[in-house]
Amino acid sequence: MSDLFGLIKRMGSLRKYVFLLLLRSPFDALRTWMLANLMKTTFHCLETNDADRLFAECMTYGLICALMFFYNGTIWSIYAAFSVKLEAGLQKAMIQKIMSMPYQQVESHFSGEWITKLNSDIQEACMMMNGPLNIPHAVVAVINTILSSFLICRSSFLLFCITWLLMIPYLFLNDQIVLKEMPNLKEESQRVMAESTSAIKPLITEAESILIYDAGGLMMQKCEKSSLKLMKVNQNMHRRNALSGAVIRLFGCGGYFVILMIGYDSILAGRMSFADVVYCIQARSAILAGMFMLITSINNIKTRSVCVRRIKSVL
């Protein structure tokens, strides 16, 4: 992320970017707090047959929810305009830098590599900055997870401990399966993509020469070889992400069964009410959502950081 912040700072927009991140970050945390309290209040009202209080609470939380979504939409609109402007600035800076390079330096790389850096790499860098499940959602996930942990800990320290005991093995497995290898695989994918682009270009720019020398079959074999290599690298990345998703489902569903069993015993023993158990389940759901969002965002950030480094190497 330091490389991306360096690029944003180079464009003179770092303070505005950080400010927009901070404006966006409280939304999910406030939404988690609101939903957990709404669920708890709703079941308390149902247990006591307090219809008037239930109606008042639903109206209040409905109004708060509408205001929060209006606020969130406004922030994202400003954020989107900022991102488009920054992407255009990066492309302009990249083109100017390439045009100012000595001819020998430009010719020392594949033409496809320059095209990839100018288009694909900049798009990936901007996705890392403003795309779904990247830096903005990573910041949101951290704040949401901290607040949700505080909520469940305040209600039941035992359920808080169980939630995190089931989360730690998943974090370890995800680090070993995905995080360590993804940047290397992404870098290899970008390199192979540049080779593939360079192999395809002569079929368009040198079509007449290829027909004269009857080299179409040879050129197509070269394109096929580079395309298959790119496909294998991308398949490896998809397999690792799929395995990470399977582990998420395993620990997520298993944790719910454990929480329900302990909550059932606590209700029978009189230590907790049904509304309190629902409150803890809602908070645990927010912790899981926050952690899964954070892990996915970190995976995407580490993958796209390769593209940011490639842009930085040119600028």
pLDDT, one tens digit per residue, over 80-89 is 788 778 777 7
Indicate the range of 104-108, 162-166, 261-265 predicted with least confidence: 104-108
Q: Does domain 2-314 have CATH number 1.20.1560.10?
A: yes
What average pLDDT score do residues 87-105 get? 74
Task: Return left, alpha or beta for 214; rule: phi > 0 is left, psi -120 to 50 is alpha, else beta.
Answer: left
pLDDT category at 27 given cuts 50, 70, 90 is: confident
pLDDT band at residue 179 using 50, 70 and 90 as cut-offs: low
Report the percentage of the chain scoring pLDDT > 90. 0
Write down the pLDDT at residue 14.
76
Taking residue 269's Cβ as centre, other Cβ atoms within 10 Å add up to: 8
Mean pLDDT of the chain, nearest integer:
75
pLDDT (tens digit, 9 = 90+) per residue, 258-300?
888 888 888 888 787 777 888 888 888 788 777 778 877 877 7
Q: Which residues contact 105 (CB under 8 A, 6 or more apart)?
A: none
Task: Supply 182's token pair.
Answer: 């993804």
Distance CA 203, CA 209 (A): 9
Full-model pTM: 0.66
- Find, among 145, 147, 155, 168, the residue nearest to 262 by Cα: 155
Does residue 118 surpass a pLDDT of 70? no
93 and 128 in contact (C-beta within 8 Å)? Answer: no
**How many residues comprise the chain?**
315
For residue 119, pLDDT over 70 is answered with: no
- Alpha helix ranges (H) inside 176-314: 182-205, 207-212, 216-269, 274-314
CB atoms closer than 10 angstroms to residue 223 = 16
> Which tokens in the block code for residue 264?
């059932």
**pLDDT reading at 43 higher than 70:** yes
Q: How confident is the model at residue 177 (pLDDT cuts 50, 70, 90)?
A: low
In the predicted structure, residue 112 carries a pLDDT above the cut 60: no
Mean pLDDT across the stretch 32-57?
Answer: 79
Note the pLDDT of residue 61.
82
Predicted pLDDT at 171: 73
- pLDDT given for residue 55 in this prediction: 82
Q: How many CB atoms lie within 10 A of CB 111?
A: 15
- 56 vs 3, which has greater pLDDT? 56
User: pLDDT for 60-79, tens place per residue?
Assistant: 888 887 888 888 778 878 88
pLDDT band at residue 239 under the 50/70/90 scheme: confident
Q: CA 85, CA 93: separation in Å to the nearest integer? A: 12
> Residue 208's pLDDT band (boundaries 50, 70, 90)?
low
Higher-confidence position of 79 and 103: 79
Domain spans in the chain, listed from the N-terminal domain onward: 2-314
* Dist CA 221 CA 215 (whole Å): 10
